[in-house]
Structure 1
Amino acid sequence: MKVESLIFDMDGTLWDSAENVARSWTEVLKEKSDVDMVVTESDIKAVMGMPMDAIARKMFGEFPEERQMELVDACGDYENDYLRQHGGKLYDGVEDTLAKLSEAHRLYIVSNCQSGYIEAFLEYYGFGRYFKDILCWGDTKVSKGESIKILMDKNGITDAAYVGDIQGDCDSARYAGIKFIHAAYGFGKVEDKDASIQRFEGLLDIVE
């Protein structure tokens, strides 16, 4: 598969931050008098990939919409700070593969996360040098497919593949009119993929 640019999902593709996200959310929520909740890694994995407003409804559905967003925003803000200090579980081969890919491709990230989450990832690992641009739901408040199109338009991208791990990622790539590579080691199963990788380094075999 020959493509000029690669656009990456975050969770289940580049890393697994669920354990530390759960810890950070639990720390925030224990300070809230109206919330009695311990957030688990499984809870976080069940919502990863959703836009933040959908996560708010899923996690805090017993509260009015305004309170749902207050809680998810508080958790997200602290989560960013926590991940800047503690990171997550980086998948094997990510750094070496990104370094090699960046020599011949333009690399980007588009995620459904809150603003600051991608930056925390890049800061913790020092990966900013590999990526040309990033975009997330917190910046655009639109679907991932629409965010991919915004990033493509901004950067003059006409030939790209999106690398992600769940069906929503595939659907978003199709919406944006680009190819999709399934990170099969991640969190979900996908139909209608253009290619699949069992490990991150497998990208080199597909696009080089």
Structure 2
Amino acid sequence: MKKAVIFDMDGTLWDSVDEIVESWNKTCPEMNIRREQLIGLMGKTMDCFARELLPEYEMDQAMEIIHACERDENEYLSHVGATLYGDVRKVFERLRGMGYEIGIVSNCQAGYIEVFLEYYHLGNLVADIECYGNTQQQKDVNLKALIERNHYETYYYLGDTQGDYNACQKAGVPFLFAAYGFGTVDAQVPQVESLEQLPEVMKYL
């Protein structure tokens, strides 16, 4: 039986907010983004970023600016990385030792997950990834697509926001709450207080 733990990125595997703020403010100084402002957008799709951060622009123009920021962000992160939520490699290895494959599904831009995997040399531990930037689809659709193409029979998603929970509800995917992340969830669900706690929690699911 194939089984998997699928991860969100931001607020779940790492915190890249400070690096994104620095990168985007270099690319587009007029946005003058602050950390608190960006945290409220993390986990949302890029069209939401455009509407929130560039309301004075037509959507096409706003998205052009956002795409430029994304490209520069990927390049910047490929050199500096970000702040991991603990020993990600150890957690991935422990889960694989328990028979779980590792997946990542995020609402991020294309290339963002790849930067994370390459910078921390984690690509050999991750079976599959998907994101909004690749498909222009919402997270529930991308979750189902990843699960179906890998023929997983048992699967869980670890995320840190209400949006993650809602996507799992739509996709029929059991949700685990990363209580250490950016957001909150208005539901009674299993939760982990740190990423390192996840393998232990998985023993009881």
Specify the TM-score bucket, using the shorter chain as the normaliser. Answer: over 0.9
Query: Shift of residue 204 of structure 1?
Result: 1.2
- Structure-2-length-normalised TM-score: 0.94
Partner of 1:33: none
Partner of 2:27: 28
* Cα distance in structure 1, aligned partners of 2:50 and 2:24: 12
Partner of 1:37: 31
Which of 74, 90, 110 is equivalent to 2:84?
90
Whichever residue aligns with residue 201 of structure 1, its letter is E
Identical aligned pairs, as a percentage?
38
Once the two structures are superposed, residues 44-72 of structure 1 have per-residue CA deviations (whole angstroms, 9 ceiling, x without a partner) of: 21210101111111111110111110011
Runs of 4+ with deviation above 6 angstroms: none
Which of 157, 162, 170 is equivalent to 2:152?
157
Which of 176, 181, 195 is equivalent to 1:181?
176
| 1:30-179 correspondence runs (5 A) | 30=29, 36-103=30-97, 104-179=99-174
Partner of 1:8: 7
* Cα distance in structure 1, aligned partners of 2:40 and 2:189: 25
Query: Shift of residue 191 of structure 1?
Result: 2.6
Whichever residue aligns with residue 17 of structure 2, its letter is A
- Structure-1-length-normalised TM-score: 0.93
Query: Shift of residue 193 of structure 1?
Result: 4.5
Paired residue secondary structure (1:6): strand
Q: Which runs of 5+ in 1 are unaligned?
A: 31-35
* Cα distance in structure 1, aligned partners of 2:160 and 2:110: 21
Q: Which runs of 5+ in 2 are unaligned?
A: none
Query: Shift of residue 17 of structure 1?
Result: 0.1
Paired residue secondary structure (1:54): helix
Whichever residue aligns with residue 175 of structure 2, its letter is F
* Cα distance in structure 2, aligned partners of 1:57 and 1:102: 40
Query: Shift of residue 194 of structure 1?
Result: 3.2
* Cα distance in structure 2, aligned partners of 1:158 and 1:193: 24
Whichever residue aligns with residue 26 of structure 2, its letter is E
Whichever residue aligns with residue 40 of structure 2, its letter is A
Contact 1:112–1:136 at 8 Å: present in 2 too? yes
How many residues align? The count is 201
12-21 or 122-131, which deviates more: 122-131
* Cα distance in structure 2, aligned partners of 1:37 and 1:176: 35
Once the two structures are superposed, residues 126-174 of structure 1 have per-residue CA deviations (whole angstroms, 9 ceiling, x without a partner) of: 1111110000001111110111011111111231110000011011111
Change (3 A) 1:159 1:193: farther
* Cα distance in structure 2, aligned partners of 1:165 and 1:132: 21
